[in-house]
Structure 1
Amino acid sequence: MKKLFFVFAVVLLSACEDFLDEPVRSKPTLTEIFSSQESVEAFVNGAYDGIMENDWWQINFFRQITDMATDDCWAGNTEQSRPDILTIAHYDNVDVGSTYFMNFWNYQFRGITRCNLIIQEMDNVDFDEDLKNRYKGEAKFLRARFYFELVKNFGGVPIITTFDELLKSEIREYVRQPEAEVWAVIEQDLIDAAELLPLKSEYASKDLGRATKGAAQAYLAKAYLFQEKWQEAADMANEVITSGEYQLETSFDDVWSVTNPNGVESIFEVQYRSDPTFRIGGVFGVTTGSREDGGWSWCVPTSNLEQAYLEEGDNIRLRNTIIKHGEPVYGDPEVTEFDAGLSRNKSARINRKFYIPTEYRETPYSPRNLPLNHILMRYADLLLIYAEASHFAGNEGEALAKLKMVRDRVNLTTDMSLTGDALRDAIWKERRLELALEQHRLYDLRRQKVNGVPRIATVMGPEGSFVKYNTQESTDEFELGNLREKQSKGATFDVDKHILWPIPHSEIVLTEGRIEQNPNY
C-alpha cells in the first residue's frame, strides 16, 4: 500500500513532468530543491496557500457550511437541490463520505506536509539566520493552524511532525491520537512561533499578511480557551493586548471594508488580489451573494440573527452584517432597494461583511475574483477571548472592562454590575453579535458549556431554541414564504453524535479501520 502523503511528495517534486514530451531521466533530491533562500521562501509561500486554497469548493466552502450548521445562517440557496450541503447544515443523515469532509481533511494534511518539509530541510540551506528563523516560525505557525482546524472539526487525528516520518510509514499504520496530544502539538508550535516571529509593525509593507508574533500568541490564547485553560488563555491574550500592536477600528464600518486591508484590528488576514486574467481573488462575496447580483445565495443570515441585533438595539453591527431584500445597502449609495432574489434565497438576506460596494467593483465585474481580504483573527475576537477567560479565571473586573471596550465602539451601554452567569452570558452573546458570519459561531456553541452540556444542544435538536423559534415563534414573511429549505433545520441534531464531524470514510478505508470513526456515525 502506498505510504501516507507519498503521492503528494512525488507530485510536489516532479510537477514539471506533465509538460515534457520525453521520459523524465531523473528527479531532483530534497537537497537540490532546498538549495537557496529563494527556494525556501517559495515553499513557505506555498504553505500559506493551504489556508485558503483558491479553488472555492475545496476548503473555503466547507467553512461556510459550518456556519450554515448554526442559528446564524440557513443553507440559503433554494434554487439548487444540494442534499450534500443540506444534510450537513441540517444535521440530517450527515454523509461520512462527503467530499466536503474529505477535501477539508486532505487539504489540512497537505498544508502540514508542506510545513514539515520546510522545518526539516531549512537548516540545510545556508542563508541569513534571522530570516531562516522567521521562515521556521511561519511554518510552525501554519502547521499549528492546520492542526487547529482539524482538531476543532474532527477531534483527535494522526500526528505527523516530520517529512521523513511520512516516507517511512505505511498509510495503514496511522491511528488517531487523543485530542490532548494534538492540542499539545498546537501549543508548542505556537509557543515556538511566537519566539521566532517579528511583530506586525516590524514587517515591511510587502510582507503584510505573514504570520506575526501577535498572531501566534492570539491563536495560542484561543487554543487555551478551547481547552478551558482559563488563566493561560487570559495571560496569553493579555500579552497581545499589552503589546500595543493592535487596536479596535474606530468605526465598525471599517472592519470588513474593501478599502481597509490589514487594518489596525487585523491580527491574521488572508491576502487577496483581484486578477480575472489569472482567476485569482476572493470568493466569499460570490458564494454568499444574491443570485440577482452574480452570487449563489449560500450561507445566508437568519431572521433569528437579525432579531438578536434588534433586541440589543445594535443597529451599527446589524447594518454592517445583514443586507435585507427591498432595503438600501449600507455603504453603497447606488443600491437603494436590494434584490435578494426572494424565490431563490431562503431568508431574503445576505452577508454584508463580504459584499463589495458598487464603486469598488472591477469593470467588467468578475465576481469570482474579489479583492476583499479575509480576516481570520482580529482584535475584537482577542478581547472577547480575554474577557471570557478572565471571567472563568475569577477576574470579573477585567472581563467587564474588555466587554465594555467592544460594546463602546458600537454605542451600546454595558451593565457594569454584571457578575456570574449573567456576565458569562453577556460575553457569549457579544461574541455572536460581534463575530457573526465570520465562521466562529459553530465552534463557540460546541465548546461553551452550561452545567457540562455544550450550548449547541440547547440551540439545536427537537427542543432547541432555534428550532422552536423557526417552527413555533417566527413571523418572518421571507423565511415562512420560502419553505423549499425546511423550517425545522437542526431538529435532528444529536449531541451524542454531532458535536464533531465524521472522520472522512476514505481515511478509515485506507487505514483498514485503524483510524476509528467518531461516535455514532
Structure 2
Amino acid sequence: MNTIKLIIASFSIGLLLYSCDTDGLELENPTELSPETYFENENQVRSAVNAVYANLQTIGMYSRNYYYIMDNMAHDNEGNPQLEANKRLFLNFSFDSSSELVNQLWDSSFRGINKANFVIGNEEKINAIPTSFMSQALKDKYIGEAKFLRALYYFNLVSRYGGVPLITNVPENGQGFPRSSADEVYNQIISDLKDASQTLLSKEAEESGRATKGAAYALLGRVYLYRKNYTEALNAFNNIYGVYALTDEYFDNFREETEHNSESIFAVEFDDDMGNNAFWNSTVSGEGPNEASLRGQSYGMFDWFNAYPSDDLLDEFEAGDPRFQASFYVVGDEYAGGTISEISLGRRAGWRKYQNYYKEANEDLQSGINFGIIRYADVLLMMAEAANEVVDQPTAIGYINEVRDRVSMPLLPDNLSKNEVFEAIIHERKVELAGEQVRFADLVRWGLASQELSQYGFQEGIHELLPIPEAELNSNENINSEDQNPGY
C-alpha cells in the first residue's frame, strides 16, 4: 500500500486545524496546535504538508465534481436521465454563480492554498530544526511540495475563473482579498513551480504519490503552453523528455494495479481499502478519510451510469485505434461480469477508462483508481504543440508519432504543414486524453470552444470562464458584483 495514502488518512482527522474560513480564509482554532508550537520536528512538517494534499481528494475537487464539470463542458460526456440537475447544468452551460459545484471547486482550492501557505509561511521555523533531526534537503523538499501544490490549486483556479484573490500568506484576520489579475496569478504559479523544480526529488527517489521534480517541470510546461510562451514550455518539458516513458499497454494508465507506472507524472491518490467515511461531510475541507473516488460508480454503465461517452467523441477515433477499446465498452465486449449483451439505457457505449469492470462485475461507492493529473503522453502532445508553434514541424510530428506508435497506429508523414500538424494535435489529444478533463481547456485556449460547443449553449465571451461564486461575492467585502466575470 502506498505510504502517502496511509499518512494522509491518519492525519486528516485534524485537518481543520489548517482549513480556511469560507468568509475570510483565516487560520483559527485556539484549542489545537498553533504555528508557535508547531514545526519542531520532521513528523510535524510532513503532516502539515500531507494536509495540503488532502484537499485534492474532496468532493469539491477530484473525488467527484471536477470530472463532471470538465467532461460535461467538453461534451466528452452526455448525460443520462438520472444525472443530477446540478451537474447537468454543465452540459448545457446554464450554470451561474449560485452553482454549488462552482462554489465547492473555489472553496476547496482556497482551503488547499491556505494549508500550503501555512507550510511556506513557516519556512524559517522549519529551517531552524537542527539538521541532526532533519536534513536541509528534506526541509527544502517539503517546502517544494507545498509550493507545487499551491501552484496546482492556483492553476485550477485561474484557468477556470480568470483572475482570483492572490493569497500567499495565512491571513491574520477575516478580511477578504480583492481579485488579482490573471497575469499576477500566473506569475506566482511560475515562481512556485520554478522553486519546486529545484528542490523536489526525482520520481525514483520519492515515495509514490508525492510531488516530484518531474511533476513540477510538467506543470510548468503546461502553464507556459497555456500562456502561449512556447519556447519556455519546451524548455520546461525538455527537463523530463526521456526521463518518463509511455507504458507498453495504454490501459495500464487507468487500472489500479498498474498505477505509478513509467508514464504517470502526477496523480491524486485513492485507495478503496482506506475508506472514505468522511466523504459526505468534508465536501471542501479535506477533513477525515477521503481515500476513494466516486468516479467508477458515477460513470459505471451497470451502476449509476449518470454519464456516457458522447457520439462526437466516439466518432473521433480512427478505425482500428486500440484506444477506442481501452476507453469504452460496447456490446460484445468482455468484462468481469461476462459478455456485454447490451449497454444500459440503449446507449452506444459506456466508459471503460477509470472503471473497475475489468476486475469487478459492479462498481461500489468507493473506487481506488488514482485520478491522473498529468501523464507523459500528455506532455509529448504538448511538446508537439509547442514545437509546431515555433515552426519546427518535423520535431512536432516526431512527438505525435511517439504517442501513435505506442498503440501501433499509422505514423504521420514528415512533410505536413503547420496547420496540418495542428489538426493532427487536435485529433490526437481528443482520442488519447478522452475523459481526462483536458478537452474543454484545450478548446478554450485554441479559440475553438464556440465552434465546437455553441450547439450545446456555449456563448463566446462568457463560458470560457466559470462565474465567481455567489458565496464569495456575498462574504468578501473586497469583491462585488462589478468584479464578476462577463455575462454572469
TM-score w.r.t. length of structure 2: 0.86
**Counterpart selection for 1:144 from 145, 151, 159:** 151
Aligned amino acid, residue 61 of structure 1: N
2:275–2:292: 8 Å Cα contact kept in structure 1?
A: no
**Shift, 1:255, TM fit:** 2.0
Partner of residue 401 from structure 1, selected from 388, 398, 402: 398
Deviation at 1:424, TM superposition (A): 0.7
**Which of 45, 50, 60 matches 2:50?**
45
| Aligned-partner Cα distance in 2 for 1:150–1:436 | 22
Number of aligned residue pairs: 447
Note the alpha carbon deviations across 1:432-490, whole angstroms, 9 max, x for none.
11000011111011111xxxxx10111111xxxxx4xxxxxxxxxxxxxxxxxxxxxx1
Distance 2:360 2:43 in 1: 35
Give the Å deviation of 1:406: 0.5
Secondary structure at the counterpart of residue 89 of structure 1? coil
Determine the structure 2 residue equivalent to 1:156: 163
- Alignment match, 1:378: 375
**C-alpha separation in 2, matches of 1:5 and 1:56:** 17
Indicate the SS of the match to 2:339: coil
CA distance in 2, matches of 1:33, 1:135: 15
String of CA shifts for 1:31-59, please: whole Å, max 9, x gaps.
21333211111111111111222x47886
The answer as to whether partners of 1:58 and 1:100 remain within 8 angstroms in 2 is no
Task: Return the offset for 1:185.
Answer: 0.5
Aligned partner letter, 2:351: N
TM-superposition CA deviations, 1:363-415 (whole Å, max 9, x none):
xx771222212211100000001000010011111101101110111121212
Shift of 1:72: 1.6
Does residue 1:95 correspond to 2:96, yes or no?
A: yes
CA distance in 1, matches of 2:140, 2:23: 26
- Which position in structure 1 is the counterpart of 2:448? 455
Equivalent residue runs for 1:502-513 within 5 Å? 502-512=467-477
1:356, distance to aligned residue in structure 2 (A): 0.9
Q: Using the alignment, how far apart are the partners of 1:4 and 1:277 within structure 2?
A: 26
Match of residue 167 from structure 1 = 172
* Aligned CA distance change for structure 1 residues 29 and 61 (closer, same or farther; 3 Å): closer
Change (3 A) 1:368 1:3: closer
For the Cα contact (< 8 Å) 2:265–2:376, is it kept in 1?
yes
The alpha-carbon distance between structure 1 residues 445 and 366, as it changes in their structure 2 partners (threshold 3 A), is: closer
Residues 1:289 and 2:295 aligned together: no
1:237 is paired with a residue of what secondary structure?
helix
Residues 1:6 and 1:248: Cα distance change in structure 2 (over 3 Å): same
In the alignment, residue 303 of structure 1 is paired with which amino acid? D
Following TM superposition, by how much is the alpha carbon of 1:253 offset from its aligned partner in structure 2, in angstroms? 2.6
Partners of 1:3 and 1:170 within 8 A in 2: no
Deviations 1:300-341 (A, max 9, x none): 2011111111xx2243000011113x3314xx3642115532
Corresponding residue number in structure 1 for 2:192: 189
Change (3 A) 1:394 1:113: same
Partner Cα separation in structure 1 for residue 81 and residue 21 of structure 2: 42
In structure 2, what is the Cα distance between the partners aligned to 1:282 and 1:116?
26
Tell me, yes or no, if the aligned pair for 2:323 and 2:432 is still in contact at 8 Å: yes
Aligned mates of 2:24, 2:178 — CA distance in 1: 17
Task: Quote the Cα distance in structure 1 between the aligned partners of 2:296 and 2:422.
Answer: 33
> Where does residue 12 of structure 2 map in the other structure?
none
Query: Structure 1 residues 37 and 390 mapped into 2: Cα distance closer, same or farther (>3 Å)?
Result: same
The answer to which of 298-307 and 504-513 deviates more is 504-513
Q: Residues of 2 paired with 1:507 and 1:357: CA distance?
A: 40
Q: How does 1:229-244 map to 2 (within 5 A)?
A: 229-241=229-241, 244=242
CA distance in 1, matches of 2:228, 2:274: 44
Instruction: Give matches, 1:176-255, under 5 Å.
Output: 176-203=179-206, 207-241=207-241, 244-255=242-253
Query: What residue number does 2:461 align with?
Result: 496
Structure 2 residue 27 is matched with structure 1 residue 9: yes
Tell me, in whole angstroms, the C-alpha distance in 2 between the residues paired with 1:158 and 1:216: 23
The answer to whether the 8 Å contact 1:65/1:299 transfers is no
For residues 106 and 124 of structure 2, the distance between their equivalents in structure 1, rounded to whole angstroms, comes to 29
Check 1:58–1:421 CA distance in 2 against 1; reply closer, same or farther (3 A cut).
Answer: closer
Match of 2:286 in 1: none
Q: Which segments of 5 or more consecutive residues in structure 2 lack a partner in the other structure?
A: 1-19, 278-290
Q: Secondary structure at the match of 2:56?
A: coil
Distance 1:497 1:277 in 2: 39
CA distance in 2, matches of 1:422, 1:314: 22
Matched residue, 2:314: 306
Q: How many angstroms apart in 2 are the aligned matches of 1:277 and 1:417?
A: 53
Measured against aligned partners, the alpha-carbon deviations of 1:68-99 in whole angstroms (never above 9, x if no partner) come to 1123211x23135x33222222113x221111
Matching of residue 336 in structure 1 with residue 336 in structure 2: no
| Partner in structure 2 of residue 66 of structure 1 | 70
Give CA deviations for 1:247-294 in whole Å, capped at 9, x if unaligned: 00112132212220100000002222122765442321111112xx3x
Q: Structure 1 pair 87/141, CA: closer, same or farther in 2 (3 Å)?
A: same
Please give the secondary structure, in 1, of the residue aligned with 2:121: helix
1:129 partnered with 2:136: yes
Matched to 2:76, the amino acid is D
Q: For the Cα contact (< 8 Å) 1:66–1:89, is it kept in 2?
A: no
> How far apart are the structure 1 equivalents of 2:80 and 2:193?
38
Q: Secondary structure at the residue paired with 1:79?
A: coil
| Bigger relative contact order, structure 1 or 2 (CA pairs below 8 A, ≥6 apart) | 2
Measured in 2, the distance between the counterparts of 1:4 and 1:259 equals: 38
When residues 339 and 286 of structure 1 are mapped into structure 2, their CA distance, relative to the original with a 3 A threshold, is farther
2:113 matches 1:116: no
Identity of aligned residues (%): 29
* Counterpart residue identity of residue 288, structure 1: Y
Q: 1:433 and 1:28, CA in 2 relative to 1: closer, same or farther beyond 3 A?
A: closer
Do 1:276 and 1:366's aligned partners in 2 also have CA atoms closer than 8 Å? no
The amino acid that maps onto 2:147 is: K
DSSP-derived class of the 2:267 partner = strand
Alignment RMSD (CA, Å): 2.2
Segments of structure 1 that go 5 or more residues without pairing to the other structure are 15-26, 449-453, 462-466, 468-489
